[in-house]
Structure 1
Amino acid sequence: MPGRHITDHQVRLYMTFRRSDSPAAAAAKAAFSTATAYRLEEDPRLPSQTAAPRTRRRPDPLAGLFEEEVVPLLEAAPGLRSVALFEELRRRHPELEHGIRRTLERRVRAWRAVHGPEQEVIFRQTHEPGCLGLSDFTDMADLQVTVAEGPLDHRLYHFRMVYGGFQHAHVVLGGESFVALAEGLQNALWALGGAPREHRTDSLSAAFRNLEQAAQDDLTQRYEALCRDYGMLPSRNNPGVAHENGSIESAHGHLKLAIRDALLLRGSRHFDDLTAYRAFIDELVSRRNARHQPRIDAERAMLQPLPRQRSQDYEEIRVRVTSSGGFTLRKVFYSVPSRLIGHQLRVRLYDDRLEVFIGGSALMTLPRGRAQRGGRHGHVVNYHHVIHALRRKPMALLNLVYRDQLFPRDAYRRTFDALLAGGDPRPACRCMVGLLALAHERGCEAALAQHLEALLEAGELPHLDALRERFGPAPSELPHVEVRLGSLVDYDALMDRPAVGGVA
C-alpha cells in the first residue's frame, strides 16, 4: 500500500501466487501495488536483503572514552553500576552532557553480554505432590494495620506447599522466633491434614540473633525434634539466596497485595481486636486456597499422617516473683497477685501470651509484652494485682515506673493528668487510686471510663464520693443472702414414689 514498506512475508506470498497468476493479480493478493510487482520481477530479492545497513546519524558521544576509560574500570571492578560510571565520567569530563547516560548504560550492557562475568543460573525444578513445604516470615508494617487503640507491629508467618499451592498464614506479634515458627507450622499442618516429607526454611538467622552459642544449639535441636515428630526432613536455603526459597518468596508478594486490596475493599485498616484481624487473614487465605482445591486434594493423599498430638510450641522458663509484685522475662515486667511474692513460677512462653503455673496447677494467662525500642524494658501490668497495695500507699502512683501501663483505659490516664494539673499531687493520687479501686471492687471499669470521658469533655474533675454513689453500693453494704440446699435424701424419696400412669 502507498506509504508503507513491504515485508519479506508479502514478497514470499507474491512469489507463491506468481506461479499461477499474473503480476497484477499476485500483487493484489499480496497487498501491494502493481508497480512494486514489476520492480520485484526485475529484482526478486527480499526487502531485508536490499535494505541499507543503519549507520550512525550523529557523532559518538563516547568516542575516545568508552574503550580508553570505561572498559578498564569495568575490568577492574565488574560490579560497578552504570550510574557510578556515568558520575565518574562527568567528574573527569565536566563538558559531557547529561543525555549520554542512556547511551552509556546500553554500551555497558552490550559489553557485559560479551565480556562480562558468568552469572548464576536458576534451574527450574519439578515438584512431586506431598514432597516439599516451605516456611518464611514477612514484615507487614507497610500495611499500617491498627488494632484497638494503636498500630499493630507484627509479622506474618507464611507456609506454602510447593505442588498443590496450599497456604497458611499466622499473625506473629513479635519477631522471628522458634516459638512463632513452631506454632505457625503446626497450625498449618493440622489445617492441611498431613505433613510433607521435607520442610524448608531460611537460615533462621533472625531467630538466632543475639543468642549465645548454647542457646542457638538448643533452638537447632528443638527445630530438628519438631520436624522429627512430624516425619519431615528439615532443610534450609543458603543465607542471602532468596530464590532457593522462591516458591514462597514470590507468594509473599502476592499474599501481601491480596491483603492490601482486601483492606481497601473493606474500607478500613482498623480492627476491634487481634481476634478480628486474625479472622480476616484466615478468611482471605481460605478463599485463595479454594482456587487450588483440586491440586490440594490430590496432594493430601500423598502426605504423611499427623502425630497423635501436637508437639511443644512454647518455651518453658522458671521465674521468681519479686517484691515488686511481678517477674521480669525477656526485658518485660509482668505483674501477678502479690500473694505469689517469693514463689517460683513455671511460665510457658508463646508468641502472644504467657501461661503461668505454680507446680502443676495453672494460675493465669497473661498477654505477652515486648521490650521497647532502644532496649528499654516493657511492662504488662494489671491494676487488679496491685490496687490493694496502692490503697495503702497512694503516693507511690506519682512516680511509678509503669504508671502509664497501670491504667486500664486511656480515660483513666487523662483523668490523672487533669488531676495533677490542679497543682497538689497528694489529693490527685488519692483520688486516682480511689477511682481504680472503685473500678476493681464494683466491676464498672468500662462504664466508669465512659463517665470520666464525659467529665473531661465538660472540663470537670471527678468527685469520688459522687461516683461511689453512682456506681452502686459498696460490697460491705450488700445484704447477706443465705441459700439452704435440700438434702439428697429428699431426692431419694422422690425416686421411691410409685410412677404415675404406669410411667417410671
Structure 2
Amino acid sequence: MEPTSRVELFAAIRRDARQGMSVREIQRAHRVGWRTVRAALDSVWPTPRAQYPKRASRLDPFKSVIDEWLVTDLDAPRKQRHTATRIFDRLIKEQQAAGITYGMVRTYVANRRPQIRLEQGRAPVEAFVPQTHLPGREGEVDFGEVAIRLRGELVTCYLFCFRLSYSGKSTHRISASAGQEAFFEGHAHAFQVLGGIPAGKVRYDNLKAAVAQVVGFSRARTEADRWTAFRSHYDLEAFYCQPGIKGAHEKGGVEGQVGWFRRNHLVPVPEVDSITELNALVDQYDREDDDRRIGGRAHTVGQAFEAEKSLLKPLPVEVFETGRWFTPRVDRYAQVSVRGNKYSVPARLIGRQVRVVLNASDLVVHDGRTPVATHERLMTKGAVRLELDHYLEVFTRKPGAFPGATALEQARAAGKFTLTHDAWWAAAVKAHGDADGTRELIRVLLLHRRMRHEDVVAGIAAALRAGALTADAVALETRKAAASPDDPQQTDARAPSGPVASLTEHRLKTHLPHDNRPLPSVDIYDALLTRRHSKKET
C-alpha cells in the first residue's frame, strides 16, 4: 500500500533503509529524489513547506473600508447589518471599485467577520453548558403557529405547549388566539393532565400574555396583573429568559418540542369542523407520545414521567377563571362588540347590558347568571358572527327582512339552514304568499329550539312530500321522526300516507272522542240586557 502522507512516506523510507535497501533502490521504489531520502533518514518529521507570500488581490485597497463597515455592524440592529451583497454594491457605487467581483467580497466577508468580532472583544460563538434537570422541578412554555383547515377554510391557529424538563412529558392546546385567555387555559389544561405543578421554576420568554414590560436588557419584568394573580393561585414560579434570540436556548426543549409536534402530528394539514374536535385529537396524540424515547434516553417519556409525577406540587382546590369578562351593551342589531368583533344575542336583550366571558376559542354571553348565547371565537378583526335563532321573533314581525338577512346566509354556510328548508320555504311562499309563507317557515325554525336538528329536517322533508305546508304539519312529522328508531330502512315509514292539513285536525280525528254537548247559547245574556233597559225607563 502506497503511503498517503509525507510522515508515512518518511516511515516507509526509514523501514526500507533498515532492511538494507540502497538509496537508489529506495528512490526507485518510492519514486522520490535523493534529497527526500536523505531528509527521511535524518528525521522522522518532514520539514514544513515554505510559505510563499500571498499574491496581491484587487480587493486589497478596499479591505480597510470593508472592515470599518463590519465594525459598525456590531452595534447595529441584527436585521439591518451589511450582507456581502450590500457591501459589494456600496463598493461599486461609493468607492468606484472597478475590477472586483462578488465572489471576492463574499469570501473576504465570511472570513473577516468572526475575526473582527474577536478583535473588538465580542465572543465569536456563544458557549453552551449541559444542564441536568431534577424530576418534578422545572418546566418550559412556548407558543407556535399552526395551520388547520377549519370547515374547509385554511386558517392560522396557535399551539400552546407546556413541557416538563426532566421527562419531556408535554401537553398541547390549539386555540384561535395567542392571547392571555389561551395562555391561562393552556396552563390549566396542562396542570390537570399532569396532575400537579412543577415544584421549581417554569421558563418563559417575553409573551405579552404574561409580561407587560421588559426592564432594560435584564431578566427583570413588569408582569401583567392577571398573570400575577394566576401565578399566585397556582403557586407558580416564573423564570424569564433573556430578551431576543439569545434567550431561545434557555428553553430549547420546548422550542424543539413545538416543531417536533407540528411536523409529526399536524402534517398533512388537519381538516376539522371545530377547534374542540381538533383538541380532542391533540389530547390523543399527547397520550401516544408517552411511548416515544427522546434522543438516546434509556426510558420512554411515560416511564420518566411516572418517576416525577409524585414530586409535583398538588393542584389548588378552587378553579381559576381563565376567560376574560366583559360587560357590553346589546345594540339595536341584537349584537355585542367584543375585542373588535360582533356576536349576536337574542333580540329580546336589545338595549340591555350583558356579561360575556371570552375564552381561548369561544365566548359565552350571560343574561345575569343565565347563559343565553355561545359562539366560536372569530379569528379576524372586524368580523361578525350571527345566529339565525336569535332573530326569529323579529322575523315574525318583519318577514320581509328574512330573505336578505346576514344571519340566514351564515346559517346556510354553516349547514344549519339546509336545501330542505329552502325547498319547503319556496313551496310555502307559493301556497300562502310571501309574508304568510315566511311566517310559517319561522314557526318551523322555532322547532329547532326543542327538537334535534336531524329530526326537524326529516319532518320538513316528510311534510314537503305530503304537500303539507303548515308549521303544525312539520311539527307532527318531526315528532314522528323523533319517535321512530334511527334505522335507514324505516325512513320511508316516516312519510304520511295522505296529506296532513294541521296538527289540530290530527288531534280531533285520532285522539279526541266525538263531542255530543250542545252548542253554547247567549240567551241568558239577553235577559240581562232587558233588565238593564227596564231600570233606565223607571
TM-score normalized by structure 2?
0.67
CA distance in 2, matches of 1:73, 1:349: 51
SS of 1:295's partner is: helix
Note closer, same or farther for the CA distance 1:113–1:337 as it changes in structure 2 (3 Å cut).
Answer: closer
SS of 2:156's partner is: coil
CA distance in 2, matches of 1:447, 1:413: 13
Aligned residues: 434
SS of 2:377's partner is: coil
Does the CA-based 8 Å contact 1:127-1:162 persist in structure 2? yes
User: Aligned AA for 1:325?
Assistant: A
Aligned to 2:173: 170
Deviations 1:145-194 (A, max 9, x none): 212232233101111112221111101112x2222111111111121121
Note closer, same or farther for the CA distance 1:187–1:402 as it changes in structure 2 (3 Å cut).
Answer: same
Aligned to 2:237: 233
User: Aligned AA for 1:279?
Assistant: A
CA distance in 2, matches of 1:218, 1:209: 5
Map 1:223-372; keep pairs closer than 5 Å.
223-241=227-245, 242-243=247-248, 244-260=250-266, 263-264=267-268, 269-291=270-292, 292-359=301-368, 361-364=369-372, 366-370=374-378, 372=380
SS of 1:183's partner is: helix
Structure 2: gaps (5+ residues):
22-27, 75-80, 214-220, 293-300, 427-432, 477-501, 513-538
Deviations 1:331-375 (A, max 9, x none): 33332333444544333321122234343x4334502332634xx
Does the CA-based 8 Å contact 2:399-2:439 persist in structure 1? yes
CA distance in 2, matches of 1:33, 1:111: 46
SS of 2:320's partner is: coil
Q: Are 1:385 and 2:398 counterparts?
A: no
Deviations 1:318-340 (A, max 9, x none): 34444433433223333233344
Displacement, 1:313? 1.4
User: Aligned AA for 2:204?
Assistant: T
Aligned to 1:84: 86
Deviations 1:95-132 (A, max 9, x none): 32233243223342354254244137455344322222
Aligned to 1:60: 57
Displacement, 1:382? 1.5
Q: Are 1:75 and 2:71 counterparts?
A: yes
Displacement, 1:468? 3.6
CA distance in 1, matches of 2:453, 2:20: 98
Does the CA-based 8 Å contact 2:233-2:320 persist in structure 1? yes
SS of 1:372's partner is: coil
Note closer, same or farther for the CA distance 1:450–1:258 as it changes in structure 2 (3 Å cut).
Answer: farther
Deviations 1:234-263 (A, max 9, x none): 332344244243332233222222234xx3
SS of 1:279's partner is: helix
SS of 1:140's partner is: strand
Displacement, 1:195? 0.7
SS of 1:160's partner is: strand
Deviations 1:129-150 (A, max 9, x none): 2222122211113xxx212232
User: Aligned AA for 2:234?
Assistant: Y
Displacement, 1:472? 5.1
User: Aligned AA for 1:86?
Assistant: F
Does the CA-based 8 Å contact 1:135-1:160 persist in structure 2? yes
Aligned to 1:205: 208
User: Aligned AA for 1:157?
Assistant: F
Deviations 1:184-220 (A, max 9, x none): 111111211211122232223267799xxxxxx9982
Aligned to 1:491: none
Taking only aligned residues, the RMSD between alpha carbons, in angstroms, comes to: 4.4
User: Aligned AA for 1:162?
Assistant: S
Q: Are 1:191 and 2:193 counterparts?
A: yes
User: Aligned AA for 2:414?
Assistant: R
CA distance in 1, matches of 2:58, 2:387: 73
Does the CA-based 8 Å contact 2:395-2:442 persist in structure 1? no
SS of 1:253's partner is: helix
Aligned to 1:98: 102
Structure 1: gaps (5+ residues):
25-31, 211-216, 421-426, 455-462, 484-504
Q: Are 1:137 and 2:137 counterparts?
A: no
CA distance in 2, matches of 1:395, 1:237: 60
Note closer, same or farther for the CA distance 1:252–1:474 as it changes in structure 2 (3 Å cut).
Answer: closer
Deviations 1:415-453 (A, max 9, x none): 99xx99xxxxxx88987776565444376866998999x
Deviations 1:39-87 (A, max 9, x none): 665343434x34444765x6524222213x2223333443533332222
CA distance in 1, matches of 2:90, 2:204: 42
Once the two structures are aligned, what percentage of the paired residues are identical? Answer: 21
Does the CA-based 8 Å contact 2:141-2:203 persist in structure 1? yes
Does the CA-based 8 Å contact 1:395-1:429 persist in structure 2? yes
SS of 2:474's partner is: coil
Does the CA-based 8 Å contact 2:201-2:238 persist in structure 1? yes
Does the CA-based 8 Å contact 1:132-1:162 persist in structure 2? yes
CA distance in 2, matches of 1:207, 1:430: 56
User: Aligned AA for 1:6?
Assistant: S
Does the CA-based 8 Å contact 2:140-2:162 persist in structure 1? yes
